[in-house]
Chains A and B, each alone.
Chain A
């Protein structure tokens, strides 16, 4: 006798179901995002039925597939399920399987539904029959119909009997790719990847921009950013990183701008370049990991002065969050360990001894008017290049060489 195991995962989408006319498009996007995510599990198939989806496992390992699905935005909750013959012994075995999926559950409830009226046992009798079986097979377990640790759903349908186990939380949000595209300013820090993640959660597809200043910043610093983008790509499908050579501009700022304003002006340059990259790639907004009051330079005055150079919408998902909340998320999404690798990023190289915490637009414009950065910005854009990452790949020649070696 083979051990019974779950043969499918049921997927429920909460918010998405409310989307009226867009619903079809949302469902299609979700289905294709799940399919991309499950490429590693080639036997799985996805079935859409009446307001929910099923991933049929066809022999793939249930918990591995569940873990992947839990990272897909647009899913409210998920459960393992199994279809068995409409036959008492099999149904009993299935409810036991479902009960054991909830480790440490002490109370349970069975909710039966009989859509196939030719099945001889009515649902009021099915609940005690199957529940009694669990009680006999376990110790210290009770039925609780009001507030059970786990609710096991049994549905007797024409084609068979479906038994559904406990709920697993989904990633929530909306399917990536349903609400437009944004350009994420990605440094090597803890905040910007979290900002990217939260934006993606609302269905936004992201591209990233990174400012690279060799030899002040190392290859490893750039690699860190590529790895961060790759960690984010797990929540969508792939991420393009626009790498901007930034050394010349930083040196010029350092040379020609007053020290107290160098940080503000550097960020204004970054913002100008970002807007250009966004415009050229049809990205309608810019996303940053800015927060308020975290470091001396993150002030309302500073934000006001930097923001002057663009009228693109700037999405700042972290603006109201505490550092500790941000760190929690970064750990959860697997970017924390990458972010804390000890390499300089472009923002930390030319740090002025005393940055102005209250810069003004007027002063910034005055200083910038003494030098012309137009050519420098154009040159940086011309020399920029794209690195593309997906959960299992980073583009670039060396990777092909590594592929051969491995």
Chain B
């Protein structure tokens, strides 16, 4: 199997599964229970939070463990909107956000919030000045992703954070689900108030993740109940999942530079391979994140190519897995102003540090064969 759909999800590391299994078995007590067994579970949870905080350069109380990216994004966006609506009801985001951001904003529009959706350039990049121009007296939130999940475009999050420092009333949320471990990001220095992370994109497990929330930030909780997670997210803690997430974070930080360099090398090999093929048009910007390449094969239905490659044990995707069930046009590519043919024929290859050169070579070979085979019927 050659797995090249790592932006959708990744293969959990063996050590992560091992930790999950051990904690689920040996520390199954409820961390809120009074007895010693519960107190051990609580201590393990505290340790996990401290380690996560250290790896992410924030304070332990700024780490809220969640069930993943979708929850983190919803908690941040709806949480800020509902908590601070008396300061203003205007929100700002971009046209190329993940559905869990986009739909949260759409839902808020039905509650009377006003949302400005900022357009992007041809590479899918947002201009910080456009954000600044959209700000009003009643703006309370700006939400921009760090890396686009379809194109791999890196957004100028640092610049946006810097310019928002002059607007103390505006909270800044970054969906960092695709960026974690792939690009640098500093919550503290870049003025990011809330930052969404997910475990299963970094070889952790589904149903795990965190929202980083700086100390001064208050949100209206999505889940009310017990006083877990600083009363921001009620519900018995998912200790095995949390430990697994933090373990995945630690493994991510080991030899981090080498891993990113490896990813870059793999991406370059793939990039150069696709450039040589006349039937391919690369949609991703060259200076994008080191793990994503989006390209179109105009004239060919992407699903057909994916199925054909699937027969060979090679797995790639069209657009974001979360939007795949909707109509054919990629909203992200459309926002980049690409022509109809390209927006309906886009494919995404997303790499992990475990991918090797021979896999890329084989993928390119099989892609050629697939296109050749299909030419008769579709081309």
> Contact residues of A with B, CB < 8 Å?
40, 61-64, 103, 218-220, 223, 337, 392, 398-399, 402, 405-406
Contact = CB atoms under 8 A, between A and B. Distances in A.
Interface in B24-60: 34, 36, 39-40, 42-44, 47-48, 51, 54, 57
A398 B43 CA distance: 10
B246 A61 contact: no
Contacts of B23: 405
B228 interface: no
A142 B224 CA distance: 51
A40 B189 contact: no
Ranked nearest first, the 7 interchain pairs of A and B with the lowest CB-CB distance are A405-B19, A219-B39, A220-B39, A402-B47, A63-B189, A219-B36, A406-B51
B39 A406 contact: no
Given A64-B188, A219-B36, A406 B243 contact: yes
Given A218-B34, A220-B42, 13 more contacts: A40-B54, A61-B186, A63-B189, A64-B57, A64-B186, A103-B165, A218-B39, A220-B39, A223-B43, A398-B40, A402-B43, A405-B19, A405-B44
A406 B189 contact: no
B250 interface: yes
- Interface extent on B, as a size class? 20 to 34
B58 to A, nearest CB: 10
B39 A337 contact: no
Contact of B188 (A63, A219, A398): A63
Contacts of B165: 103
Contacts of B42: 220
Given A63-B189, A223-B43, A406 B250 contact: yes
Contact of A392 (B54, B61, B189, B250): B54
B207 to A, nearest CB: 18
A103 B167 CA distance: 12
Contacts of B218: none
A64 B189 contact: yes
Given A64-B57, A220-B42, A392-B54, A406 B188 contact: no
B54 A406 contact: no
Nearest to A3: B158
A61 B43 CA distance: 30
Contacts of A402: 43-44, 47
A40 B55 CA distance: 10
Given A103-B165, A398-B40, A398-B43, A406 B247 contact: yes
B357 interface: no
Nearest to A63: B189
Contacts of B47: 399, 402, 406
Nearest to A337: B61
Contacts of A399: 47
A402 B45 CA distance: 10
B277 interface: no
Q: A interface, by DSSP: helix, strand, loop or mixed?
A: helix
Given A61-B189, A223-B39, A398-B43, A405 B22 contact: yes
Nearest to B247: A406
Nearest to A221: B39
Contacts of B57: 61, 64
Interface string B77-115: 000000000000000000000000000000000000000
Q: Which of A63, A64, A402 has the most CB of B within 10 A?
A: A402
A333 to B, nearest CB: 13
Contacts of B186: 61, 64
Contacts of A61: 57, 186, 189
Q: Which of A103, A220, A406 has the most CB of B within 10 A?
A: A406
10 contacts: A103-B165, A218-B39, A219-B36, A223-B39, A223-B43, A392-B54, A398-B40, A398-B43, A402-B47, A405-B22
A223 to B, nearest CB: 6
A222 B80 CA distance: 37
A188 to B, nearest CB: 14
A64 B165 CA distance: 18
B154 to A, nearest CB: 15
B19 A406 contact: yes
A219 B54 CA distance: 25
Contacts of B43: 223, 398, 402
Contacts of A223: 39, 43
Nearest to B57: A64
Nearest to A214: B36
Interface in B139-186: 165, 186
Contacts of B54: 40, 392
Contacts of B189: 61-64
Interface in B3-32: 19, 22-23
A356 B44 CA distance: 42
B36 A406 contact: no
A259 to B, nearest CB: 28
Contacts of B246: 406
A220 B61 CA distance: 18
Interface in B108-143: none
A64 B54 CA distance: 11
Nearest to B250: A406
Nearest to A5: B189
B192 to A, nearest CB: 13
A9 to B, nearest CB: 14
A165 to B, nearest CB: 15
B295 to A, nearest CB: 30
Nearest to A100: B162
Nearest to B51: A406
A402 B186 CA distance: 27
B42 to A, nearest CB: 7
A18 B85 CA distance: 55
Interface in B293-312: none
Contacts of B188: 63-64
B336 to A, nearest CB: 26
A218 B36 CA distance: 8
A62 B186 CA distance: 11
